[in-house]
Chain A
């Protein structure tokens, strides 16, 4: 049995229905190509426009601020373009020949596309601190998703900790929703302000400047902010849940706050699992402290049939993601030899590139200012790095001392990165811990090797996939 609603073939497959994926699918379908947009969530929007069309909040603008309208418009345009939007669909493999492995409603099926646009966006950078696995510790992004999708806010003593714009945005949204925040612990290193100052001219022209200053002011009026936090620890109570957050500010004595919910955040990084498993080359980006794919002027990866749009190609934010989605789709149309009435494609691409350039103004300032401190990226020995297999930083360092050269060998030593999350929560930390221990660059250590399926799929689903007589003959005896 194959998934009932899955087409066997299409011209362009887009994976991920955030701003990049929605924009890419819209362009491709408008050009008359058969386009399918696969998305794992129940409704389109991605994380930035999460639940844009389905939120239970009666007045989302009053709580979330502007921005939901853009998500609604993107989803509406995409639906009207003729693209097929398949929500609740998990793409667990992408091959260089354009074959996708897709699960929908409990059944798996291959879908063959002539071109693939990967638009899987970003995930929150891991923030490995002692106690980060305790129930009661979550990410700030998770709290925002609960607010957008379920109208839920943290209860009791809520502490926010980390650095980056999302932390302040969530604090402002909680305030507007009438939810109290006990404290915001800002881990932005003080030295970052000096380093970022030289990028200030670019940021002065950024659309995020006014928004950012407004947020900072709004939050500081209502939330106690502790700046210059250099150490952070979540502590459990007798119930096994979070009870307290302890922190240090430089040389000062340790301070402690009772807490029921700790929300961590230190920026976002590209979600590279699918692109890496497809064989797209990635390089270490030291400014954004992440691996990012090598892309050409049309956002095509080193695998000719695969383009990468949006934050998955490097963090740029929602507006840049949208323009990158359009550019990637235009590149796909060009590669597939689709018609170009009036020679409009080059103009549209130039327009998208100009938008990307404008949107990236000020990015260097944000990347430098909110570059997480090494202490929160390369943790002390006792801290768990791999949450799934419960591997501490000390055990990784022991493995390095025994001669383990990189994250692939580390799998055999410690199973680190082999749990259900497949390295999503630990790979950046593992790379940086090993790089530091060996005294080489993170790029030299590399990313843990990823293979399909990049999301768990049941054997029953794989066994039930359609096969050809040739494929069956190849494995049957007698």
Chain B
């Protein structure tokens, strides 16, 4: 869905994170939602109501479509969270399970 304009960018260190157990690479300074889209992993949750798939929509903290679990904490807005080396990200499926 998205590609990086590699030739037009300043160099930046690579940051490694895992998404549902798979390692992906991002640029230092990336927002998590941008890193997910760049890695082709934009489907970040399914809805609690009908189970429909959702992906980042507004990228500015308004729509709450990009909710993911980050380092064990659920329903974080991926468009507001900068990536960090070793970050563990899980996509969310349907309604939350109590206790998580």
Contacts and interface: CB of A to CB of B under 8 A. Distances in A.
A155 interface: yes
A413 to B, nearest CB: 15
Contacts of A439: none
A456 B75 contact: yes
Contact of A146 (B10, B34, B63): B34
A369 to B, nearest CB: 24
B69 to A, nearest CB: 13
* Residue from B50, B56, B65 whose CB has the most chain A CB atoms within 10 Å: B65
A425 B63 contact: yes
A97 B8 CA distance: 49
A153 interface: yes
Contacts of A63: 8
Nearest to B31: A149
A370 to B, nearest CB: 19
Interface in A419-478: 419-421, 424-425, 455-456, 458
B49 interface: yes
A418 B61 CA distance: 16
Given A123-B60, A136-B55, A177-B8, A152 B37 contact: yes
* Residue from B34, B54, B56, B59 whose CB has the most chain A CB atoms within 10 Å: B59
B57 A137 contact: yes
Contacts of B49: 389-390
State which size class the interface on B falls in: 35 or more
A453 B3 CA distance: 36
Given A42-B31, A58-B10, A150-B30, A387 B5 contact: no
A388 interface: yes
A420 B67 contact: yes
A421 B58 CA distance: 11
B55 A152 contact: no
Contacts of B30: 149-150
A328 to B, nearest CB: 22
Interface in A218-272: 240-241, 260-261, 271
A373 to B, nearest CB: 22
Nearest to B43: A135
A59 B8 contact: yes
Given A58-B10, A456-B75, A177 B52 contact: no
B32 to A, nearest CB: 11
B95 to A, nearest CB: 12
B58 A135 contact: no
A236 to B, nearest CB: 9
Given A135-B42, A177-B8, A153 B59 contact: no
Given A177-B5, A387-B63, A425-B63, A40 B27 contact: no
Contact of B65 (A141, A179, A387, A456): A387
Given A146-B59, A390-B50, A56 B10 contact: yes
B97 interface: no
Interface in A318-370: none
Contacts of B58: 123-124, 138-139, 141-142, 425
Contacts of A151: 4-6, 8-9
Given A138-B59, A389-B49, A456-B75, A152 B5 contact: yes
Interface residues of A, number: 52
Interface in A106-158: 123-124, 133, 135-139, 141-143, 145-146, 149-156
Interface string B63-85: 11101000001010001101000
Contacts of A455: 61
B29 interface: yes
Contacts of A301: none
Contacts of A421: 62-64
B53 interface: yes
A4 interface: no
Contacts of B5: 57, 151-153, 177-179
Contacts of A41: 61, 80
A136 B34 contact: no
B9 A155 contact: no
Contact of A153 (B2, B62, B79): B2
A138 B40 CA distance: 15
Contacts of B34: 146, 149-150, 152
B18 interface: no
17 contacts: A56-B27, A58-B10, A123-B58, A135-B55, A137-B57, A142-B60, A143-B59, A149-B30, A150-B4, A150-B34, A150-B35, A150-B38, A152-B3, A153-B5, A387-B63, A390-B49, A390-B52
Given A41-B61, A139-B58, A261-B1, 11 more contacts: A56-B9, A63-B8, A133-B65, A135-B54, A138-B55, A138-B59, A142-B56, A146-B34, A151-B6, A152-B4, A241-B43
Interface of A: 40-42, 47, 54, 56-59, 63, 88, 123-124, 133, 135-139, 141-143, 145-146, 149-156, 177-179, 240-241, 260-261, 271, 387-390, 419-421, 424-425, 455-456, 458
Q: Lowest 9 CB-CB distances: which A-B pairs, in order?
A: A135-B55, A142-B59, A420-B64, A150-B34, A145-B59, A155-B3, A390-B49, A152-B2, A151-B9
